[in-house]
Structure 1
Amino acid sequence: MGVGVDRRQVLAAFAGGGLAALLGACGVGEETGGGDRRGGTLRAGAPPPPTAVDPVTMYDGTAIAIVQLVAEYLIWLDKDFKLVPRLAESWQSADGGKRWTFKLRPGVTFSDGTPLDAQTVKASFDRLLDPASKSAALSAFDTVLKAGGVSAPDAGTVEFALQRPFGDFPYLVSAGNYNALILKPDYAGDFTKHAIGTGPFVLTGYNASTGASFTRNEKYWDAGKPYLDGVELKFYADDQADLLALQGGDIDVQILSRAALAQPLAGTGAVDVDTVKGTGVTVLTLRTDKPPFDRKEVRQAVAYALGRPAILQSIGSGVGDLGNDHLLAPLFPAAPTDLAQRAQDKAKVAALLQGAELRFTLTFEPPDKDYAVTVQNQLKQAGITVELDQRSSKDFYGGDQAKDTPWLFTQANLVGWAGRAVPSQLVIPMVKSGGVWNGSKYANPELDAAADAYDTATTDAARKAAAATVAKILHEDVPVIIAYWSGTVRAYQGKKFKGVQAHPAQYVDFSSVTRA
């Protein structure tokens, strides 16, 4: 469901004909077309995967990274959340955004020599859409695409017949839906023993305790890439040990850098730190169907009591963007830019409360303790009393999801949401009427209509107009408070390697990395 996933958890350069031939002729240690050196093995560090490394069911950052080195998506999602063709060269919609056609890149083969074709792509999505697969991708496709909706009219064409018009559908078959990798039709699990993909590297060894090794895929479709000879992935028990290994030269890059540890090193010369915006967010949810938050003015008072820059700095390590109490992160292309940023205003808080005392209980899980204490302290300065209710993560997400689980049924709570590729993946479950994860119990027909208009929009202008309406309604009604959007960082040895980048979802693309 994505909740908590962020805690468990580049553009491809398309060479022209002459350059492709030149790169293909380059030997190990020679220069790439840009003057950087080919060859070498990149040593990376990451925590061990908590479960089996399976592209269909994986959810943690390390497993995702392992698979992304070997397998690919129809579309990559770059660090600015722009769609980049990979196994699909192009796509277009018809029937008002209810039918989508993708043209596959010709000449692509899997690492075992098997050609990629449309039936293979269809089989991959049929697998994900089967409830028996227990794939996290199912939640992304909910109400949009169901089993039986994928066809292959010819070897190079894949068609998706949707349940309803959805203008952002390409994002759902991109890396933004991290399980949507293209695998061989006969894939049956045991990825670490039978890792066959179309990606830039081939998995040559895996140990669940110590790490994994990869060599370059000599059959990779992007001529001349990858530039590296291979990747060695080492597992470390905790973030601090991983960072110490980087500083000590035992590894060259972190897969999952922790901003609070890595960001202070930026600019010191010890290591290089790349930073990007993101769409991950910890949401302060207010229960709108019961006092005291059944009144909009009370919800607004809490929003005006928060000092967002201080929260971004102390909780977000200064990496990310200020939130403005709506679900259109600045990284989303349709995010509004003309909605005034809400700022801390204690006089406004007093005016909204009109002398009434406000006390409430804030429920949270252990990873959000610092955030909860910060909220408590800031609201106290504005005359609002907050009692803290910490639950274990098991208890917080436990219980009956339809009637009493704390993360959906408490008076107010903090919930961490992993980054999403499109706003609808946040809006639909979180704030639409009857949304499956609508902890605020918020219901507004105008919001529902605007969200539907966003999904059915067929032009950028129409999409932005609908997004602006969604943002304005949420900003005014405040069923959820967004203090900041998380950014992500990636620390690496810049004196040794070039082309390492951070990614909003902490994904990896090492196909363009070279020796410095």
Structure 2
Amino acid sequence: MPLFPTGPIGSAGDRAARSAEHPVRALLTRRGLLAGVGAGGAAAFLAACGSSGSGAQPGAAGASAGSGGRRGGLITLGAPTPPTALDPVTMYDGTAIALVQLVAEYLVWLDEDFQLRPALATAWTSSEGGRTWSFTLRKGVVFSDGTPLDAPTVKASFDRLLDPANKSAALSAFASVLTAGGVAVSGPDTVVFHLQRPFSDFPYLVSAGNYNALVLKSDYKVGTFARQAIGTGPFLLDSYDVGRGASFGRNPKYRDAAKLYLDGVRVVFHKDAQADLLALQSGAIDAQILSQADLVTPIAGSASIAVDKVDGTVLAAFTLRVDKEPFTKKEVRQAIACALDRPGALSTVYNGVGVLGNDHLVAPAFASAPKDLPQRGKDAAKVRSLLSAAGVDKLRFTLSFDPPNKDYALVIQDQLKQVGITVDLDQQTSDAFYGGNQETDTPWLFTDANLVGWAGRPTPSQFIIPMVKSHGVWNGSKYANPALDAAADAYDAATDPAERGRQAEIIARALHEDVPVIVSAWAGAVRAYRSDRVKGLRAHPSAYLDLTTVSRV
């Protein structure tokens, strides 16, 4: 299973979807890339709206974690070699994203608990029923070269992301919400976004939840970041070698430079996760940027290795084509769902890091998640009853997937075998699985049953809109339900948390009943570090890296 909400935030799925990209339909972000809309839901964004300039900074929720640590010094981090260019506009892998986040900033930061925190913007408000959003910029912020931050600069950054010619992964997050020409300025310190439709979670789209939404200088040229990295963040990129690593020094022009503990950061690239782990165990590095639960969980507590864990919204969607036999009858789909041992899958596939899924897309981490929908569990008697009601004597089907989901596929095959359902496994290369014509025959969208890894998102909408709305761009199940469509639109437009909760429950109950997608578990995230050297380092659902409160021990 990928480490990140977007397959290292850059799975083969991301790459394939991007290669077939429609002007505004970009990338299926899967593991940690979080590219998306938000998770905390209305309560989180309403709490952030109208926040003052003295509001919390990125990492403020864990500010006490660094207290007591010594000031100064460097830390050394390990990470897989980035497969994509170190560029804020086009990057989609976890290593590149983490490195860029040390230098550049967002209007809004996304904490590990999915709460929004002021960053370059100190407050945001909506009007016209959620179709217009205004963000007030923090005063006195300058880029590392001394250039002042202002509203035209922010507008230029988003205009750059919304230009299809730049092939930014951010396009998928803005699809159907914000298009080119939708960004304006209102004075030197206010940026205004005019949306295509009401979208109450819009602040998440300009937060770290949309990992490409970093604010850069107006004259930034795509592809030049590794040579001349200029940002408003806490660190400066001193050197970058794609084959070896990177080094960062403290940015003296950072707005809270006096609060930083570290003088700098060194990053060492490793060829794979195993090499990265060995470096941690040997003491060659102090911590990992991207940790795999299956590798680090078993060694937590040994040799001063600590593992921080956090719930997330990463999932592997077990998708069933509702327009293809034997899945045209919902009783068959329900039977398959009732055959699964979800705690067993969570333990086997995710090393117990995460929470159980309940066959809908409103994850428990979301504020709007339904609280009274009974948890579906393994029930062999019910499987038999449902298949009998569907007139199915023996059930057999083929499950397609790519290598990252092999473990989950084997679990499904074994669990369904125990109730008399035969599953033939069709493992394809990632290039083949996500290749082909994305409109007509790509396996991940057109096979009868498949497993697709999805990056964590900060809100339910970025799962619901593409995956299960009628004619959604990534609707692999071919599911269509007018009631769900209406509830999804109402959810996006609602600003009252109670109303959002009501619409979320309609959506969740429809998916739980119709089962176009089986969600056995929502994976969490981990980050491993040496507790004898580092203090204040946290895991993040999207593997984001905030070092503003991290110190040497």
Same fold (TM over 0.5): yes
Residue 165 (structure 2) aligns with: 132
Matches of 2:85 and 2:136, distance apart in 1: 32
Shift of 1:219: 0.7
TM-score (norm 2): 0.88
Alignment partner of 1:423 out of 441, 460, 480: 460
Matches of 1:16 and 1:299, distance apart in 2: 51
Matches within 5 A, 1:47-66: 47-66=80-99
Residue 396 (structure 1) aligns with: 433
Shift of 1:5: 4.1
Letter in 1 for 2:438: Q
Q: Deviations over 1:35-83 (max 9, x none)?
A: 3211110100001111211100000000001100000000000000000
Residue 181 (structure 1) aligns with: 214
Residue 526 (structure 2) aligns with: 489
Decide whether the 8 Å contact of 2:28 with 2:454 is kept in 1.
yes
Matches of 2:203 and 2:54, distance apart in 1: 25
Alignment partner of 1:279 out of 313, 318, 333: 313
Residue 156 (structure 2) aligns with: 123
After TM superposition, the structure 1 stretch with the greater mean CA deviation from structure 2, 381-390 or 32-41, is: 32-41
Decide whether the 8 Å contact of 2:31 with 2:454 is kept in 1.
yes
Decide whether the 8 Å contact of 1:276 with 1:489 is kept in 2.
yes
The count of residues paired between Structure 1 and Structure 2 equals: 500
Q: Deviations over 1:2-40 (max 9, x none)?
A: 43642899xxxx9989xx9xxxxxxxxxx9993321111
Shift of 1:225: 2.9
Residue 355 (structure 2) aligns with: 321
Matches of 2:33 and 2:296, distance apart in 1: 18
Q: Does 1:197 align with 2:231?
A: yes
SS in 2 for 1:6: coil
Letter in 1 for 2:539: A
Matches within 5 A, 1:18-97: 34-97=67-130
Matches of 1:303 and 1:198, distance apart in 2: 48
Matches of 1:288 and 1:15, distance apart in 2: 50
Q: Does 1:348 align with 2:382?
A: yes
Residue 546 (structure 2) aligns with: 509
Matches of 2:243 and 2:342, distance apart in 1: 40
Residue 301 (structure 2) aligns with: 267
Alignment partner of 1:475 out of 512, 516, 537: 512
Shift of 1:332: 1.4
Shift of 1:267: 3.0
The share of aligned pairs that are identical, in percent, is 63
Decide whether the 8 Å contact of 1:77 with 1:83 is kept in 2.
yes
RMSD value over aligned CA atoms? 1.8
Q: Deviations over 1:235-276 (max 9, x none)?
A: 000111111111111100100001100111223354010000
Alignment partner of 2:491 out of 454, 467, 472: 454
Decide whether the 8 Å contact of 1:32 with 1:38 is kept in 2.
no
Q: Label 1:171 to 1:308 Cα distance change in 2 as closer, same or farther (>3 A).
A: same
Decide whether the 8 Å contact of 1:200 with 1:225 is kept in 2.
no
Residue 27 (structure 1) aligns with: none
Q: Deviations over 1:455-505 (max 9, x none)?
A: 000111111111111111101110000010111100001111111000000
Matches of 2:75 and 2:492, distance apart in 1: 41
Alignment partner of 2:423 out of 375, 386, 403: 386
Alignment partner of 1:436 out of 473, 497, 510: 473
Residue 287 (structure 2) aligns with: 253
Matches of 1:270 and 1:237, distance apart in 2: 24
Q: Does 1:330 align with 2:381?
A: no
TM-score (norm 1): 0.94
Matches of 1:7 and 1:94, distance apart in 2: 31
Matches of 2:369 and 2:228, distance apart in 1: 42
Letter in 2 for 1:178: Y
SS in 2 for 1:363: strand
Gaps of 5+ in 2: 1-25, 35-51, 58-63
Matches of 1:56 and 1:229, distance apart in 2: 27
Q: Label 1:16 to 1:413 Cα distance change in 2 as closer, same or farther (>3 A).
A: closer
Gaps of 5+ in 1: 21-30
Shift of 1:514: 1.2
Matches of 1:80 and 1:32, distance apart in 2: 15
Matches of 2:541 and 2:217, distance apart in 1: 28
SS in 1 for 2:258: coil
Residue 41 (structure 2) aligns with: none
Alignment partner of 2:264 out of 230, 235, 255: 230
SS in 1 for 2:145: coil
SS in 1 for 2:350: coil
Q: Does 1:408 align with 2:433?
A: no
Residue 3 (structure 1) aligns with: 28
Decide whether the 8 Å contact of 2:32 with 2:314 is kept in 1.
no
